[in-house]
Structure 1
């Protein structure tokens, strides 16, 4: 599952890593991104870009982290859908259209997860690539239109069963796309959901490292970089009795 993440990399790294062009000042470092906030999504442009032009292959847009299907009439009555189960997305009316036509990649530097401690409190962890670099979460995007003509771009992060390294923290994890799979995932003109289904799997076990951090991350309004500082001592986890907190969609 993914309820918080960070995006703190330099603008040039993002542009090079995801094949986009970003405006000046669009991306200050963000260490504690929470659902309902604006996030960056990378998508295939609606118009085919010329092979001889200077435009990058993909475009970056700001969207609300919290997917709303286009057919919803009252978004305030729709639950905050920031995670989407990849295994059933093709079967659900809410996500079927987006999986066909509006697949996106959500850039991140790392994400956060919590594990119950012996004292009953939840110990937060920062999860990031072991060898550095950026993460590309598989996501779905939809544009919700109001009766007055206003629109809101929204997105959610696809999840899958957690791999061996992350499973002790939570049974679910975000779907992470390898860079060589970006083009196939984003190519909604030629690749149907069945063509990209094999990408919706746990990342290899040695991809992530898990860092115990302080409780500062629990406050969604706390934005300081020190939320990622490692704890001096390793916390003691409670005995594993199974974790039933799964995605709802």
Structure 2
């Protein structure tokens, strides 16, 4: 799964990296502990112009048919095995796929509390692009539209398997056009992108249990520590 991640690069750098040339960039600072129901930058393709845009969406997908947005807290991840058929995700899988930029994410090791958190990042120090889905939900009372997203997950690769059986889908730059819809790709081809990234892409290290507190959000969360036990 993916329940916390971090993004500390400025929006302008993200825009250059992800080929975003139009639109107003969100005014956000570095985040070291992004948690479900919080807003975070997401890359989407405009269906008419084909341009990529960077916008703030809420983490935890709220399907258009939901009675209220509380369901989003349970929709932070979409399993790749059922993403094309699950009622909450299938429409977005067909036409509202997105990329979620990150500098790394966290996973917890252990079967019983207190579990040991680990930070995971690119071994080469580069940024990460998660495969995501997004959608819009209209509040029946106010008429306001809430745009939200989820992160696709798959089975863990050999690097992360000692920590957890699942991991977020991390897409290489060559796969972005097909995932976003820049190029034509059938359902089977898109589904095939939802695979573990190569083992040598990532590195991981133990970090402070402070990361489990959503109020903690500073660069010190990434400092390595001696694992408990």
Tell whether the structures are fold-level matches, with TM greater than 0.5: yes
Displacement of 1:203 in angstroms is 0.6
Q: Give me the CA root mean square deviation.
A: 1.9
- Matching of residue 18 in structure 1 with residue 15 in structure 2: no
Q: Gapped runs of 5+ residues in structure 2?
A: none
Distance of aligned partners of 1:25 and 1:150 in 2 relative to their CA distance in 1, 3 Å threshold? closer
Paired with 1:170 and 1:23, the residues of 2 have a C-alpha distance of 38
Distance of aligned partners of 1:77 and 1:161 in 2 relative to their CA distance in 1, 3 Å threshold? closer
Paired with 2:76 and 2:196, the residues of 1 have a C-alpha distance of 18
Tell me what 2:152 maps to.
158
- Tell me, yes or no, if the aligned pair for 2:37 and 2:72 is still in contact at 8 Å: no
- Matching of residue 149 in structure 1 with residue 133 in structure 2: no
- Tell me, yes or no, if the aligned pair for 1:20 and 1:59 is still in contact at 8 Å: yes
TM-score relative to the length of structure 2:
0.92
**Residues 62-77 of structure 1: pairs in structure 2 closer than 5 A:** 62-76=56-70
- Matching of residue 3 in structure 1 with residue 3 in structure 2: yes
Query: SS at the partner of 2:84?
Result: helix
| Deviations 1:66-117, CA, capped at 9 Å, x for gaps | 0111111233356521011011011112111000010000000000001128
Which of 161, 166, 169 pairs up with 2:163?
A: 169
Paired with 2:25 and 2:99, the residues of 1 have a C-alpha distance of 21
**Residues 97-112 of structure 1: pairs in structure 2 closer than 5 A:** 97-112=91-106
TM-score relative to the length of structure 1:
0.85
13-22 vs 153-162, greater mean Cα deviation:
13-22
207-216 vs 23-32, greater mean Cα deviation:
23-32
- Tell me, yes or no, if the aligned pair for 1:113 and 1:170 is still in contact at 8 Å: yes
Displacement of 1:23 in angstroms is 4.0
**Residues 65-144 of structure 1: pairs in structure 2 closer than 5 A:** 65-76=59-70, 79-116=73-110, 120-144=113-137
Q: Gapped runs of 5+ residues in structure 1?
A: 50-56, 237-249
Displacement of 1:143 in angstroms is 0.2
Tell me what 1:206 maps to.
200
